[in-house]
Amino acid sequence: MTKQKKKPKIYDYFKETEDPYAGGVAWCPGCTLELTARFVPKVLGNDIILVGCPCCAAPVLYGQNLGTWHRLSYFSSLMTGVASSATGISRYYRKIGRDATVVCFTGDGCSADVGFQPLSGAAERNERIIYITYDNEGYMNTGYQRSSTTPMGASTSTTPAGTISHGKPTPAKNVPLLMAMQGAAYAATATLSHLDDFARKLTKARQKIKEGFVYIHVFSPCVMGWRIEADMSIQVCRMAVRTNYFPLWEAENGRFRLTHEVSSPKPVQEYLRLIRKFSHLKETEINEFQQMVDRKYAVIKRLCVTE
């Protein structure tokens, strides 16, 4: 009888036991950005160089007054220069013969909009960097404005639901798909409700960076901007996956694969009703939202190869 391969446990992926962050940090309670920022070095290790910019991550990573809340190496760039700064750092270390893992860590406003050109350039040049976007679907640090990854219908401070505007009128830009289409060595989606999947993808990122550009897009609910309770953020992540609103997939050198296929997806309404930024949506708009989710999922599904 052939022995079945044992499924790795989450701790098997952990490289580090020492948490490089302070116990108390300046993020909102229940923020998934905090959990992502803590999880990434657990798997990638503390010997990484983080590159970031102004965003909700910055108060902790960059620090305030005379202190920071972590012991990682951190380089702060402008929002327009994260991927290009990371390119310089990565190339410099390779030139002096040192193996450095350069990890960009930004919000979606940077990767999808303000810093998209250097991100796209780095992907096209196949730079040896790992770029992680925590996607809270808006510019949260500056007051919950819409970004190009804000979904259609969401109420934000610049697309408020009211008598004139009824939420964002256009659908979200699919940045991970664009990165995969640009030929990234590895592109993937991840979220905190599926930690094994996330950990496996980070582990793979570590290997694939030797070949070239790696992009991981992390679905990250924002308790303040989305108007959810602090203890609900993981439930929201889980429902995003269960409804196919946020499918989990990876693309290795252009070969797509669903990493967690949902057998009977729930209606997207069950996701929408958890989040107050969608509470104004009427039945017709929820139906349109469902169609949009189905269309986006069908695109990914058709791109997937059967093993």
CA distance 267 to 264: 9
Per the DSSP assignment, residues forming a β-bridge with 214 are 130, 186
* 149, interface contact from ligand SF4, ligand TPP, none, CB < 5-8 Å by kind: none
Q: What, of ligand SF4, ligand TPP, none, does residue 31 touch, CB below 5 to 8 Å by kind?
A: ligand SF4
On whether the CB atoms of residues 215 and 179 are closer than 8 A, the answer is yes
Q: How far is the CB of 39 from ligand SF4 (least distance, A)?
A: 15
- 224 is a site residue for ligand SF4 (CB under 6 A): yes
Please select the residue that binds ligand TPP; options are 44, 110, 172, 218, rule is CB under 6 A.
110
Answer yes or no whether residue 175 interacts with ligand TPP by CB under 6 A.
no
- The residue type found at 97 is G
Which of ligand SF4, ligand TPP, none has residue 80 at its interface (CB below 5 to 8 Å by kind)? ligand TPP
In angstroms, the Cα distances linking 246 to 1, 58, 113, 238, 274 are 39, 26, 20, 9, 15
By CB under 6 A, name the one of 86, 177, 187, 223 that touches ligand SF4. Answer: 223
Tell the residue number behind the tokens 């990854």, with chain if given.
149
Per-residue CA distances from 66 to 59, 60, 63 (Å): 12, 12, 7
Q: Does 228 bind ligand SF4 (CB under 6 A)?
A: no
Contact segment (CB under 6 A) with ligand SF4 among 2-10, 168-176, 221-229, 241-249 equals 221-229
Q: For residue 242, which amino acid is it?
A: R
Q: Specify burial of residue 203 (Cβ count, 10 A radius: 0-12, 13-18, 19+).
A: middle
Q: Which phi and psi (to 5°) does residue 133 adopt? A: -105, 125
Under the binding rule (CB under 6 A), the answer on residue 106 touching ligand TPP is yes
Listed residue (182, 169, 203, 194) closest to 13, CA to CA: 203
Gap between the Cα atoms of 72 and 68, Å rounded: 10
β pairing state of 48-52 and 73-76: parallel
Residue 250: closest CA among 202, 209, 284:
202
Residue numbers 62-101 binding ligand TPP by CB under 6 A: 79-80
User: Is residue 33 at the binding interface for ligand SF4, with CB under 6 A as the rule?
Assistant: yes
Question: Is 177 among the residues that bind ligand SF4 (CB under 6 A)?
Answer: no
User: Taking CB under 6 A as the rule, does residue 136 contact ligand SF4?
Assistant: yes
Does 108 bind ligand TPP (CB under 6 A)? Our answer is: yes
Among 140, 172, 218, 275, binds ligand SF4 (CB under 6 A): 140
Q: Residue 123 binds what, of ligand SF4, ligand TPP, none (CB under 5 to 8 Å, by partner type)?
A: none
Catalog residues that contact ligand SF4 under the rule CB under 6 A.
27-28, 31, 33, 56, 136, 140, 222-225
Catalog residues that contact ligand TPP under the rule CB under 6 A.
54-57, 79-80, 106-110, 114, 136, 139-142, 147
